[in-house]
Chains A and B, each alone.
Chain A
Amino acid sequence: MIPYFKNIFNDTADVSLFTAQFFKELFKPPFQINEFIRQCYAVGFLSLPLVTITGFIMGLVLTIQSRPTMVQFGAESWLPSMVSLSLIREIAPVIIALICAGKIASGIGAELGSMKVTEQIDAMEVSAVNPYSYLVVTRILATTLMVPILVLYADLVGILGGYIGYNIHGNMSMFRYFSEVIESLEFLDIFPAIIKTFFFGFFIGMIGCYKGFNAAKGTASVGIAANSAVVSASLSIFIIDMLAVQITDLFF
Protein backbone atom coordinates (compact mmCIF):
# COMPACT_ATOMS: atom_id res chain seq x y z
CA MET A 1 0.00 0.00 0.00
CA ILE A 2 2.82 2.40 0.90
CA PRO A 3 4.62 2.01 -2.47
CA TYR A 4 1.27 2.64 -4.20
CA PHE A 5 0.78 5.98 -2.44
CA LYS A 6 4.47 6.77 -2.90
CA ASN A 7 4.00 6.32 -6.66
CA ILE A 8 0.94 8.57 -6.67
CA PHE A 9 2.82 11.32 -4.83
CA ASN A 10 5.85 10.91 -7.11
CA ASP A 11 3.65 11.14 -10.22
CA THR A 12 1.86 14.21 -8.86
CA ALA A 13 5.19 15.89 -8.16
CA ASP A 14 6.48 15.01 -11.66
CA VAL A 15 3.36 16.37 -13.37
CA SER A 16 3.55 19.55 -11.28
CA LEU A 17 7.21 20.07 -12.20
CA PHE A 18 6.41 19.37 -15.86
CA THR A 19 3.62 21.98 -15.77
CA ALA A 20 5.84 24.49 -13.96
CA GLN A 21 8.50 24.01 -16.64
CA PHE A 22 5.89 24.80 -19.32
CA PHE A 23 5.22 28.21 -17.76
CA LYS A 24 8.97 28.77 -17.33
CA GLU A 25 9.76 27.96 -20.97
CA LEU A 26 6.67 29.74 -22.34
CA PHE A 27 8.18 33.19 -22.09
CA LYS A 28 11.78 32.20 -22.85
CA PRO A 29 13.07 32.98 -26.37
CA PRO A 30 13.65 31.64 -28.99
CA PHE A 31 9.93 31.19 -29.74
CA GLN A 32 9.20 28.28 -32.07
CA ILE A 33 6.58 30.08 -34.17
CA ASN A 34 6.76 27.77 -37.21
CA GLU A 35 6.40 24.63 -35.12
CA PHE A 36 3.51 26.24 -33.20
CA ILE A 37 1.69 27.01 -36.49
CA ARG A 38 2.35 23.46 -37.71
CA GLN A 39 0.87 22.10 -34.49
CA CYS A 40 -2.17 24.39 -34.74
CA TYR A 41 -2.75 23.00 -38.23
CA ALA A 42 -2.36 19.40 -37.01
CA VAL A 43 -4.53 19.88 -33.91
CA GLY A 44 -7.12 22.26 -35.35
CA PHE A 45 -7.50 21.96 -39.10
CA LEU A 46 -6.94 18.20 -39.31
CA SER A 47 -9.57 17.62 -36.61
CA LEU A 48 -12.27 19.55 -38.51
CA PRO A 49 -13.84 16.56 -40.36
CA LEU A 50 -14.20 14.59 -37.11
CA VAL A 51 -15.57 17.59 -35.21
CA THR A 52 -18.00 18.45 -38.05
CA ILE A 53 -19.50 14.95 -38.12
CA THR A 54 -19.66 14.69 -34.33
CA GLY A 55 -21.14 18.17 -33.89
CA PHE A 56 -23.76 17.63 -36.58
CA ILE A 57 -24.84 14.26 -35.20
CA MET A 58 -25.00 15.64 -31.64
CA GLY A 59 -27.41 18.41 -32.69
CA LEU A 60 -29.49 16.17 -34.91
CA VAL A 61 -29.85 13.30 -32.44
CA LEU A 62 -30.49 15.58 -29.46
CA THR A 63 -33.34 17.28 -31.36
CA ILE A 64 -34.87 14.04 -32.61
CA GLN A 65 -34.65 12.38 -29.17
CA SER A 66 -36.03 15.36 -27.24
CA ARG A 67 -38.86 16.15 -29.62
CA PRO A 68 -41.48 13.52 -28.43
CA THR A 69 -41.16 14.64 -24.80
CA MET A 70 -41.32 18.33 -25.71
CA VAL A 71 -44.39 17.70 -27.89
CA GLN A 72 -46.04 15.84 -25.00
CA PHE A 73 -45.70 18.97 -22.84
CA GLY A 74 -46.70 21.28 -25.68
CA ALA A 75 -43.26 22.84 -25.63
CA GLU A 76 -42.15 22.02 -29.16
CA SER A 77 -41.33 25.67 -29.84
CA TRP A 78 -38.73 25.54 -27.04
CA LEU A 79 -36.77 22.89 -28.90
CA PRO A 80 -34.31 25.30 -30.65
CA SER A 81 -33.39 27.04 -27.40
CA MET A 82 -33.17 23.80 -25.43
CA VAL A 83 -30.91 22.14 -27.99
CA SER A 84 -28.64 25.15 -28.39
CA LEU A 85 -28.33 25.69 -24.62
CA SER A 86 -27.55 22.02 -24.00
CA LEU A 87 -24.99 22.00 -26.77
CA ILE A 88 -23.24 25.24 -25.84
CA ARG A 89 -23.21 24.83 -22.08
CA GLU A 90 -22.32 21.18 -21.72
CA ILE A 91 -22.59 18.65 -24.50
CA ALA A 92 -20.37 20.16 -27.20
CA PRO A 93 -17.50 21.18 -24.87
CA VAL A 94 -17.34 17.80 -23.15
CA ILE A 95 -17.89 15.60 -26.21
CA ILE A 96 -15.47 17.55 -28.41
CA ALA A 97 -12.88 17.61 -25.62
CA LEU A 98 -13.25 13.83 -25.25
CA ILE A 99 -12.87 13.41 -29.01
CA CYS A 100 -9.74 15.58 -28.86
CA ALA A 101 -8.43 13.55 -25.92
CA GLY A 102 -8.82 10.45 -28.07
CA LYS A 103 -7.33 11.91 -31.21
CA ILE A 104 -4.86 14.54 -30.05
CA ALA A 105 -3.63 13.40 -26.62
CA SER A 106 -3.01 9.87 -27.91
CA GLY A 107 -1.30 11.26 -31.02
CA ILE A 108 0.98 13.50 -29.00
CA GLY A 109 1.69 10.72 -26.46
CA ALA A 110 2.58 8.24 -29.22
CA GLU A 111 4.62 10.73 -31.25
CA LEU A 112 6.71 12.00 -28.35
CA GLY A 113 6.97 8.49 -26.88
CA SER A 114 8.36 7.16 -30.14
CA MET A 115 10.73 10.13 -30.40
CA LYS A 116 11.98 9.34 -26.91
CA VAL A 117 12.45 5.63 -27.64
CA THR A 118 14.30 6.27 -30.92
CA GLU A 119 16.57 8.91 -29.29
CA GLN A 120 15.18 11.75 -31.43
CA ILE A 121 14.65 13.85 -28.29
CA ASP A 122 18.26 13.18 -27.27
CA ALA A 123 19.38 14.15 -30.78
CA MET A 124 17.56 17.44 -30.39
CA GLU A 125 19.17 18.04 -27.02
CA VAL A 126 22.73 17.40 -28.24
CA SER A 127 22.04 19.79 -31.13
CA ALA A 128 21.60 22.46 -28.43
CA VAL A 129 17.87 22.70 -29.23
CA ASN A 130 15.64 22.80 -26.17
CA PRO A 131 13.29 19.84 -26.82
CA TYR A 132 10.87 21.06 -24.16
CA SER A 133 10.45 24.40 -25.84
CA TYR A 134 10.30 22.91 -29.36
CA LEU A 135 8.07 19.89 -28.70
CA VAL A 136 6.12 20.51 -25.52
CA VAL A 137 5.42 24.25 -25.35
CA THR A 138 4.26 24.39 -28.99
CA ARG A 139 1.92 21.42 -28.59
CA ILE A 140 0.35 22.58 -25.32
CA LEU A 141 -0.18 26.08 -26.71
CA ALA A 142 -1.73 24.67 -29.88
CA THR A 143 -4.20 22.48 -27.99
CA THR A 144 -5.05 25.30 -25.55
CA LEU A 145 -5.89 27.58 -28.45
CA MET A 146 -7.44 25.11 -30.89
CA VAL A 147 -9.78 23.13 -28.62
CA PRO A 148 -11.95 26.22 -27.79
CA ILE A 149 -12.12 27.07 -31.50
CA LEU A 150 -13.13 23.50 -32.35
CA VAL A 151 -15.80 23.59 -29.64
CA LEU A 152 -17.24 26.88 -30.95
CA TYR A 153 -17.28 25.41 -34.44
CA ALA A 154 -19.00 22.25 -33.12
CA ASP A 155 -21.61 24.48 -31.40
CA LEU A 156 -22.47 26.06 -34.75
CA VAL A 157 -22.55 22.77 -36.65
CA GLY A 158 -24.59 21.18 -33.84
CA ILE A 159 -27.19 23.96 -33.96
CA LEU A 160 -27.39 23.47 -37.72
CA GLY A 161 -27.86 19.74 -37.12
CA GLY A 162 -30.63 20.63 -34.67
CA TYR A 163 -32.33 22.73 -37.34
CA ILE A 164 -32.29 19.80 -39.78
CA GLY A 165 -33.48 17.44 -37.02
CA TYR A 166 -36.36 19.81 -36.20
CA ASN A 167 -37.44 19.97 -39.83
CA ILE A 168 -37.63 16.19 -40.23
CA HIS A 169 -41.01 16.29 -38.49
CA GLY A 170 -41.71 19.99 -38.19
CA ASN A 171 -41.51 23.05 -40.34
CA MET A 172 -39.51 26.10 -39.34
CA SER A 173 -37.47 28.50 -41.48
CA MET A 174 -33.74 28.74 -40.85
CA PHE A 175 -34.06 32.46 -40.05
CA ARG A 176 -36.71 31.82 -37.38
CA TYR A 177 -34.80 28.85 -35.93
CA PHE A 178 -31.59 30.83 -35.53
CA SER A 179 -33.50 33.89 -34.22
CA GLU A 180 -34.96 31.71 -31.47
CA VAL A 181 -31.53 30.27 -30.70
CA ILE A 182 -29.90 33.72 -30.44
CA GLU A 183 -32.79 35.14 -28.38
CA SER A 184 -32.51 32.33 -25.86
CA LEU A 185 -28.76 32.65 -25.36
CA GLU A 186 -27.19 34.89 -22.74
CA PHE A 187 -23.59 35.92 -22.15
CA LEU A 188 -23.40 33.66 -19.11
CA ASP A 189 -24.35 30.64 -21.20
CA ILE A 190 -21.40 31.12 -23.50
CA PHE A 191 -18.64 32.68 -21.38
CA PRO A 192 -18.08 29.94 -18.71
CA ALA A 193 -18.40 27.26 -21.39
CA ILE A 194 -15.64 28.86 -23.46
CA ILE A 195 -13.39 29.40 -20.46
CA LYS A 196 -13.53 25.75 -19.45
CA THR A 197 -12.59 24.63 -22.98
CA PHE A 198 -9.25 26.47 -22.61
CA PHE A 199 -8.58 24.29 -19.56
CA PHE A 200 -9.68 21.18 -21.47
CA GLY A 201 -7.25 22.06 -24.27
CA PHE A 202 -4.42 22.79 -21.85
CA PHE A 203 -4.81 19.48 -20.02
CA ILE A 204 -5.18 17.47 -23.25
CA GLY A 205 -1.87 18.87 -24.51
CA MET A 206 -0.11 18.72 -21.18
CA ILE A 207 -1.07 15.12 -20.40
CA GLY A 208 -0.24 13.95 -23.95
CA CYS A 209 3.18 15.60 -23.76
CA TYR A 210 3.90 14.40 -20.22
CA LYS A 211 3.09 10.78 -21.04
CA GLY A 212 5.09 10.85 -24.28
CA PHE A 213 8.06 12.72 -22.85
CA ASN A 214 8.30 10.29 -19.93
CA ALA A 215 7.85 7.08 -21.92
CA ALA A 216 10.17 4.28 -20.82
CA LYS A 217 12.55 2.50 -23.19
CA GLY A 218 11.13 -0.03 -25.65
CA THR A 219 8.39 0.07 -28.25
CA ALA A 220 5.74 -1.22 -25.85
CA SER A 221 6.07 2.00 -23.88
CA VAL A 222 4.87 4.01 -26.91
CA GLY A 223 1.53 2.18 -26.80
CA ILE A 224 1.37 2.58 -23.03
CA ALA A 225 2.09 6.33 -23.34
CA ALA A 226 -0.67 6.79 -25.95
CA ASN A 227 -3.17 4.73 -24.00
CA SER A 228 -2.54 6.33 -20.63
CA ALA A 229 -2.63 9.79 -22.25
CA VAL A 230 -6.19 9.15 -23.47
CA VAL A 231 -7.35 7.71 -20.14
CA SER A 232 -5.81 10.49 -18.03
CA ALA A 233 -6.92 13.29 -20.38
CA SER A 234 -10.50 11.96 -20.52
CA LEU A 235 -10.64 11.68 -16.75
CA SER A 236 -9.23 15.17 -16.31
CA ILE A 237 -11.92 16.56 -18.65
CA PHE A 238 -14.68 15.22 -16.39
CA ILE A 239 -12.96 16.53 -13.28
CA ILE A 240 -12.43 20.00 -14.80
CA ASP A 241 -16.04 20.00 -16.01
CA MET A 242 -17.32 19.21 -12.53
CA LEU A 243 -15.17 21.96 -11.01
CA ALA A 244 -16.20 24.43 -13.73
CA VAL A 245 -19.89 23.78 -13.10
CA GLN A 246 -19.41 24.25 -9.34
CA ILE A 247 -17.47 27.49 -9.81
CA THR A 248 -19.99 28.85 -12.34
CA ASP A 249 -22.82 27.97 -9.98
CA LEU A 250 -21.04 29.71 -7.12
CA PHE A 251 -20.28 32.98 -8.89
CA PHE A 252 -23.04 33.43 -11.48
Chain B
Amino acid sequence: MKTTPPAIKIENLHKTFGTNKILKGIRLAVNQGEDLVILGRSGTGKSVTIKCMVGLIEADKGKIEVFGTDITKLNKKELNAIRTRIGFMFQNGALYDSMSVRQNLTFALKHHTKDISPEEIETRIVETLESVGLSESIDKMPAELSGGMIKRIGLARTIIIKPEIVLYDEPTAGLDTITAREISELILSVQKKYKTTSIIITHDLACAKLTGNRIMILNEGIIHAEGTYAELEKSKDEWVRSFFI
Protein backbone atom coordinates (compact mmCIF):
# COMPACT_ATOMS: atom_id res chain seq x y z
CA MET B 1 0.00 0.00 0.00
CA LYS B 2 1.34 3.44 -0.97
CA THR B 3 1.51 5.95 1.90
CA THR B 4 1.25 9.71 1.45
CA PRO B 5 4.42 11.52 2.51
CA PRO B 6 4.10 14.17 5.22
CA ALA B 7 3.42 17.67 3.85
CA ILE B 8 6.56 18.87 5.63
CA LYS B 9 9.26 16.84 7.34
CA ILE B 10 12.32 18.37 8.96
CA GLU B 11 15.30 16.43 10.19
CA ASN B 12 18.21 17.73 12.23
CA LEU B 13 17.86 21.38 11.14
CA HIS B 14 20.68 23.68 12.18
CA LYS B 15 21.09 27.41 11.65
CA THR B 16 23.64 29.83 13.05
CA PHE B 17 23.81 33.60 12.55
CA GLY B 18 27.35 34.78 13.29
CA THR B 19 28.15 33.21 16.66
CA ASN B 20 24.49 32.86 17.63
CA LYS B 21 23.24 29.26 17.26
CA ILE B 22 19.50 29.62 16.60
CA LEU B 23 18.43 26.12 15.55
CA LYS B 24 20.19 23.13 17.07
CA GLY B 25 18.73 20.09 15.36
CA ILE B 26 15.00 20.55 14.91
CA ARG B 27 12.97 17.49 13.93
CA LEU B 28 9.31 17.65 13.00
CA ALA B 29 6.76 16.19 10.63
CA VAL B 30 3.41 17.67 9.62
CA ASN B 31 0.93 15.39 7.90
CA GLN B 32 -1.26 16.61 5.07
CA GLY B 33 -4.37 18.35 6.41
CA GLU B 34 -2.84 18.77 9.86
CA ASP B 35 -2.66 22.13 11.69
CA LEU B 36 0.53 22.44 13.72
CA VAL B 37 1.25 25.31 16.07
CA ILE B 38 4.83 26.10 17.03
CA LEU B 39 4.92 27.97 20.32
CA GLY B 40 7.94 29.55 21.88
CA ARG B 41 9.39 32.65 23.43
CA SER B 42 10.72 35.47 21.27
CA GLY B 43 14.10 34.73 19.71
CA THR B 44 13.87 30.94 19.97
CA GLY B 45 13.97 30.47 16.18
CA LYS B 46 10.29 30.01 15.31
CA SER B 47 10.33 32.40 12.35
CA VAL B 48 13.72 31.09 11.22
CA THR B 49 12.25 27.58 11.13
CA ILE B 50 9.34 28.45 8.82
CA LYS B 51 11.51 30.69 6.66
CA CYS B 52 13.79 27.69 6.15
CA MET B 53 10.74 25.69 5.01
CA VAL B 54 10.26 27.98 1.98
CA GLY B 55 13.94 28.55 1.30
CA LEU B 56 13.95 32.19 2.44
CA ILE B 57 16.72 31.30 4.87
CA GLU B 58 19.28 28.70 3.90
CA ALA B 59 19.80 26.01 6.54
CA ASP B 60 23.37 25.24 7.60
CA LYS B 61 22.67 21.54 8.06
CA GLY B 62 19.69 19.21 7.92
CA LYS B 63 16.94 18.04 5.65
CA ILE B 64 13.67 19.82 4.82
CA GLU B 65 11.24 17.69 2.86
CA VAL B 66 8.17 19.33 1.34
CA PHE B 67 5.79 16.79 -0.23
CA GLY B 68 8.65 14.30 -0.13
CA THR B 69 11.20 16.53 -1.90
CA ASP B 70 14.27 17.77 -0.04
CA ILE B 71 14.20 21.51 -0.79
CA THR B 72 17.75 22.07 0.47
CA LYS B 73 19.02 20.29 -2.63
CA LEU B 74 16.86 22.11 -5.18
CA ASN B 75 17.92 24.80 -7.62
CA LYS B 76 15.99 28.10 -7.84
CA LYS B 77 13.62 26.89 -10.55
CA GLU B 78 12.73 23.67 -8.74
CA LEU B 79 12.33 25.53 -5.45
CA ASN B 80 9.94 28.01 -7.10
CA ALA B 81 7.85 25.10 -8.38
CA ILE B 82 7.43 23.89 -4.76
CA ARG B 83 6.77 27.45 -3.56
CA THR B 84 3.70 27.70 -5.81
CA ARG B 85 2.10 25.07 -3.55
CA ILE B 86 2.88 26.98 -0.34
CA GLY B 87 1.33 30.18 1.00
CA PHE B 88 3.18 32.34 3.51
CA MET B 89 1.47 34.90 5.69
CA PHE B 90 4.00 37.40 7.00
CA GLN B 91 3.95 38.89 10.48
CA ASN B 92 3.19 42.41 9.25
CA GLY B 93 1.24 41.41 6.16
CA ALA B 94 4.08 42.44 3.80
CA LEU B 95 1.59 43.98 1.36
CA TYR B 96 3.22 45.74 -1.59
CA ASP B 97 2.63 49.32 -0.52
CA SER B 98 2.85 50.80 -4.02
CA MET B 99 -0.13 48.63 -5.06
CA SER B 100 -3.81 48.72 -4.09
CA VAL B 101 -5.49 45.71 -2.47
CA ARG B 102 -6.79 44.62 -5.88
CA GLN B 103 -3.31 44.94 -7.42
CA ASN B 104 -1.74 43.03 -4.51
CA LEU B 105 -4.08 40.11 -5.10
CA THR B 106 -3.80 40.33 -8.90
CA PHE B 107 0.00 40.32 -8.67
CA ALA B 108 0.01 37.14 -6.57
CA LEU B 109 -2.50 35.40 -8.82
CA LYS B 110 -1.03 36.44 -12.18
CA HIS B 111 2.46 35.29 -11.24
CA HIS B 112 1.14 32.06 -9.78
CA THR B 113 -1.33 30.98 -12.44
CA LYS B 114 -0.22 31.54 -16.01
CA ASP B 115 -2.83 32.24 -18.69
CA ILE B 116 -5.52 33.20 -16.20
CA SER B 117 -8.24 35.36 -17.75
CA PRO B 118 -9.05 38.85 -16.36
CA GLU B 119 -12.61 37.64 -15.59
CA GLU B 120 -11.27 34.69 -13.61
CA ILE B 121 -8.89 37.02 -11.70
CA GLU B 122 -11.77 39.35 -10.80
CA THR B 123 -13.97 36.46 -9.65
CA ARG B 124 -11.19 35.00 -7.48
CA ILE B 125 -10.39 38.41 -5.94
CA VAL B 126 -14.03 39.11 -5.04
CA GLU B 127 -14.49 35.58 -3.67
CA THR B 128 -11.29 35.73 -1.57
CA LEU B 129 -11.99 39.21 -0.20
CA GLU B 130 -15.46 38.05 0.78
CA SER B 131 -14.01 35.12 2.66
CA VAL B 132 -11.81 37.46 4.74
CA GLY B 133 -14.69 39.93 5.13
CA LEU B 134 -13.07 42.89 3.38
CA SER B 135 -14.85 43.23 0.03
CA GLU B 136 -15.25 46.98 0.49
CA SER B 137 -11.47 47.53 0.72
CA ILE B 138 -10.73 46.29 -2.78
CA ASP B 139 -9.46 49.65 -4.11
CA LYS B 140 -7.78 50.87 -0.94
CA MET B 141 -4.03 51.29 -0.59
CA PRO B 142 -2.23 49.41 2.24
CA ALA B 143 -1.53 52.74 3.98
CA GLU B 144 -5.30 53.25 4.36
CA LEU B 145 -5.80 49.94 6.20
CA SER B 146 -5.66 49.21 9.93
CA GLY B 147 -3.33 46.55 11.42
CA GLY B 148 -6.11 43.94 11.52
CA MET B 149 -7.19 44.72 7.95
CA ILE B 150 -3.60 44.40 6.72
CA LYS B 151 -3.41 40.92 8.29
CA ARG B 152 -6.71 39.94 6.63
CA ILE B 153 -5.56 41.19 3.22
CA GLY B 154 -2.22 39.44 3.81
CA LEU B 155 -4.18 36.25 4.42
CA ALA B 156 -6.32 36.89 1.33
CA ARG B 157 -3.17 37.27 -0.78
CA THR B 158 -1.86 34.03 0.70
CA ILE B 159 -4.97 31.94 0.04
CA ILE B 160 -5.93 33.39 -3.35
CA ILE B 161 -3.41 31.07 -5.00
CA LYS B 162 -5.12 28.11 -3.29
CA PRO B 163 -1.99 26.73 -1.59
CA GLU B 164 -1.85 23.25 -0.13
CA ILE B 165 0.29 24.39 2.81
CA VAL B 166 -0.08 27.72 4.58
CA LEU B 167 2.64 29.02 6.90
CA TYR B 168 1.55 31.73 9.34
CA ASP B 169 4.26 33.86 10.94
CA GLU B 170 2.86 35.37 14.16
CA PRO B 171 -0.60 36.04 12.66
CA THR B 172 -1.97 37.77 15.78
CA ALA B 173 1.15 39.70 16.85
CA GLY B 174 0.56 43.37 17.54
CA LEU B 175 -3.24 43.10 17.55
CA ASP B 176 -5.74 43.77 20.33
CA THR B 177 -7.42 40.73 21.94
CA ILE B 178 -10.66 41.03 19.94
CA THR B 179 -8.97 41.50 16.55
CA ALA B 180 -6.51 38.70 17.39
CA ARG B 181 -9.46 36.38 18.07
CA GLU B 182 -11.08 37.42 14.77
CA ILE B 183 -7.86 36.60 12.90
CA SER B 184 -7.60 33.22 14.69
CA GLU B 185 -11.20 32.42 13.73
CA LEU B 186 -10.46 33.48 10.18
CA ILE B 187 -7.48 31.10 10.08
CA LEU B 188 -9.74 28.34 11.36
CA SER B 189 -12.32 29.02 8.65
CA VAL B 190 -9.59 29.08 5.97
CA GLN B 191 -8.31 25.71 7.24
CA LYS B 192 -11.81 24.23 6.95
CA LYS B 193 -12.80 25.88 3.66
CA TYR B 194 -9.57 25.33 1.72
CA LYS B 195 -8.53 22.11 3.53
CA THR B 196 -4.97 23.33 3.90
CA THR B 197 -2.08 22.01 5.95
CA SER B 198 -1.08 24.78 8.36
CA ILE B 199 1.94 25.65 10.42
CA ILE B 200 1.26 28.55 12.76
CA ILE B 201 4.08 30.30 14.57
CA THR B 202 2.80 32.17 17.57
CA HIS B 203 3.14 32.94 21.25
CA ASP B 204 -0.57 33.69 21.52
CA LEU B 205 -2.12 30.81 23.50
CA ALA B 206 -5.69 31.64 22.47
CA CYS B 207 -4.66 31.46 18.81
CA ALA B 208 -2.78 28.20 19.43
CA LYS B 209 -5.77 26.61 21.19
CA LEU B 210 -8.20 27.60 18.45
CA THR B 211 -6.17 26.89 15.33
CA GLY B 212 -3.85 23.99 16.12
CA ASN B 213 -4.65 20.30 16.49
CA ARG B 214 -1.05 19.68 17.61
CA ILE B 215 1.36 21.99 19.40
CA MET B 216 5.15 21.99 19.57
CA ILE B 217 7.09 24.13 21.99
CA LEU B 218 10.44 25.41 20.80
CA ASN B 219 13.11 26.24 23.31
CA GLU B 220 16.76 27.12 22.73
CA GLY B 221 16.75 25.82 19.18
CA ILE B 222 15.16 22.41 19.79
CA ILE B 223 11.62 21.06 20.14
CA HIS B 224 11.18 20.88 23.89
CA ALA B 225 7.65 19.44 24.08
CA GLU B 226 4.92 18.21 21.79
CA GLY B 227 1.24 17.27 22.13
CA THR B 228 -2.30 18.58 22.05
CA TYR B 229 -3.21 21.77 23.90
CA ALA B 230 -4.89 19.77 26.66
CA GLU B 231 -1.92 17.41 27.05
CA LEU B 232 0.64 20.22 27.26
CA GLU B 233 -1.52 22.20 29.66
CA LYS B 234 -1.34 19.26 32.08
CA SER B 235 2.31 18.44 31.37
CA LYS B 236 4.52 17.30 34.22
CA ASP B 237 7.27 19.56 32.92
CA GLU B 238 7.08 22.75 34.95
CA TRP B 239 8.65 24.85 32.18
CA VAL B 240 5.98 23.67 29.72
CA ARG B 241 3.20 24.32 32.21
CA SER B 242 4.54 27.83 32.80
CA PHE B 243 3.51 28.62 29.22
CA PHE B 244 -0.12 28.00 30.04
CA ILE B 245 -0.38 30.10 33.20
What residues make up the interface of A, taking CB atoms closer than 8 Å to B?
Answer: 111, 114-115, 118-120, 122-130
Q: Size range of the interface on B?
A: 20 to 34
Complex CA distance for A128 and B87, rounded to whole angstroms: 10
In angstroms, how far is the closest chain A Cβ from the Cβ of B106? Answer: 11
Is B181 an interface residue when CB atoms closer than 8 A count as contact? no
Q: Does B144 belong to the interface (CB within 8 Å)?
A: no
Known A120-B96, A122-B56: A129·B111 in contact at CB below 8 Å: yes
Given contacts A123-B90, A128-B84, contact A118 B111 (CB under 8 A): no
User: Counting chain B CB atoms within 10 Å of each CB, which of A111, A127, A130 scores highest?
Assistant: A127
Hey, which chain B residues are within 8 Å of A129, CB to CB? 107, 111
Contact partner, A119, options B80, B84, B94, Cβ 8 Å: B94
On chain B, the residues within 8 Å of A127 by CB distance are 83, 107-108, 111-112, 161
14 residue pairs of the A-B complex, CB under 8 angstroms, read: A111-B98, A114-B97, A118-B94, A119-B90, A119-B91, A120-B97, A122-B56, A123-B88, A124-B96, A126-B88, A127-B108, A128-B83, A129-B111, A130-B76
- State the CA gap A127–B56 with chains docked (Å): 11
- Nearest-CB distance from A215 to chain B (Å)? 15
Q: B residues within 8 A CB of A119?
A: 90-92, 94
Q: How far is the CA of A123 from the CA of B157 in the complex (A)?
A: 10
Question: Which residues of chain B have C-beta atoms less than 8 A from A130's C-beta?
Answer: 76
Residues of B within 8 A of A115 (CB): 96
Indicate whether B217 reaches chain A with its CB closer than 8 angstroms.
Answer: no
Q: Does A126 lie within 8 Å of B56, measured CB to CB?
A: yes
Find chain B residues with CB under 8 A from A120 CB: 94-97
Q: Name the residue on A nearest B51 (C-beta).
A: A122
Task: Across the interface, name the chain B residue whose C-beta is closest to A122.
Answer: B56
Docked complex Cα distance between A115 and B83 (Å) = 20
Closest Cβ of chain A to B237, distance in Å, is 34
A95 to B51, CA, bound (A): 45
Q: Is the beta-carbon distance between A128 and B111 smaller than 8 angstroms?
A: yes
Which residues of B (103-123) have their CB < 8 Å from a CB of A? 107-108, 111-112
Would B80 and A122 count as touching, CB distance under 8 A?
Answer: no
- Complex CA–CA separation, A128 to B90 (angstroms): 15
Q: In the bound complex, how far is the Cα of B156 from the Cα of A237, in angstroms?
A: 45
- B200 part of interface (Cβ distance < 8 Å): no
A162 to B108, CA, bound (A): 51
Q: Which residues of A contact B54 (CB under 8 A)?
A: 126
- B 43-56 binary contact with A (CB < 8 Å = 1; else 0): 00000000100101
Q: Which of B186-212 contact A (CB under 8 A)?
A: none
Given A122-B56, A122-B90, A123-B88: A128 in contact with B80 (beta carbons within 8 A): yes
A118, B83: Cβ atoms under 8 Å?
no
The complex places the Cα of A114 from the Cα of B91 at a distance, in Å, of 15
Q: Is B39 an interface residue (CB 8 A)?
A: no
Tell me whether B86 is interfacial, beta carbon within 8 Å: yes
Interface of chain B residues 55 through 92 with chain A (CB within 8 A)? 56, 76, 80-81, 83-84, 86, 88, 90-92
**Docked CA distance A133–B36 (Å):** 34
Q: Least Cβ distance of B166 to chain A in Å?
A: 11
| Residues of A with C-beta under 8 A to B112 | 127-128
Residues of B within 8 A of A111 (CB): 98
A70 to chain B, nearest CB (A): 49
Select from chain B the residue with minimum beta-carbon distance to A119.
B94
> CA of A126 to CA of B112 in the docked complex: distance in angstroms?
11
B207-223: which residues lie under 8 A (CB-CB) from chain A? none
Bound-complex Cα distance A130 to B90 (A): 18
- Could you say which of B80, B94, B98, B107 has the most chain A C-beta atoms within 10 Å of its C-beta? B94
A122: chain B residues at CB < 8 Å are 51, 56, 90, 94
What residues of B have a CB within 8 angstroms of the CB of A128 in the complex?
80-81, 83-84, 111-112
